Amino acid sequence: MLEKFMHEWLYVSDYDVPVANNGFSGRAKINGVDLEQKYIALVATSNYNNLPEWRLAFNLDKNKRVYVMKPQHKSDFLAILPKKVYVGIGKHHFDLSGSIKEALFSLMLTNKFDSIVHYDEIANMYIIAHSTLDYPLLRKRLSQIDEDTQLTLWLYAKNQVSISSLAQMLMVHPKTVEYRLQKIKSLTGFDPRKGIDLIPLVVSYIKEKTENIHILETELQSFSNEMLPRDKTISVSTNN
């Protein structure tokens, strides 16, 4: 029953359905949801089947679980997370669907050094991921470079730190960082130490890491589509 309510909540959010006369407000109250309060969504993933339980939650797929909570409960939730769980966190909204989409995007930019990513930290990159700006050949070359070198590029650009500071973050020698940045230049023709070259490199990295965002957003949409009346379902499928 609770998971069905969560799907209905998504439907109301996606389609901006009036809730005054359809009983949703009462069902929200029964499930402990205050519709006058903004909620945040977190999406967690793990390969170890160790995702924590939470009252307002549902499975997006076999590896991803969506959690919904009031902002003041976020710290309590993060405190019970086991190791090797990656989490994307959206902003607090009345629009549940919007917060989940932000969390999904944030999840795609997690890594072994940033296992928890807040949408606030990478909001400007959402625009890049959904833009037409792209460098297909550079993306291909960058994707063929080892993961540690790609991650070095990402953290170098995201944190805007010195070589020595980045080396401490990565727990490697500064010469290792320099070697990896030089490797990127040699294999792509773009030097990450030059601002004019760093931009297309970062765009390519983001595009590659988030290339499946539309698939995940479609998965999310399917939950609210299940709540559609039959006549609306038919009209939607016909238009598509």
Quote the pLDDT of residue 49: 84
Quote the pLDDT of residue 65: 94
Q: Is the pTM of this model over 0.85?
A: yes
Band of the pLDDT at 20, cuts 50, 70, 90? low
Judged against a pLDDT cut of 50, whether residue 235 lies above it is answered with no
- CB of 103 within 8 A of CB of 88? yes
For residue 162, give Cα distances in angstroms to 83, 169, 172, 173, 183.
Answer: 29, 11, 13, 13, 18
Pairing of β 64-69 and β 116-118: unpaired
- CB of 88 within 8 A of CB of 220? no
Mean pLDDT of all residues belonging to the chain: 89
Band of the pLDDT at 238, cuts 50, 70, 90? very low
pLDDT of 50-86, one tens digit each? 899 999 999 988 889 999 999 999 999 999 999 899 9
Higher pLDDT, 10 or 109: 109
Band of the pLDDT at 228, cuts 50, 70, 90? low
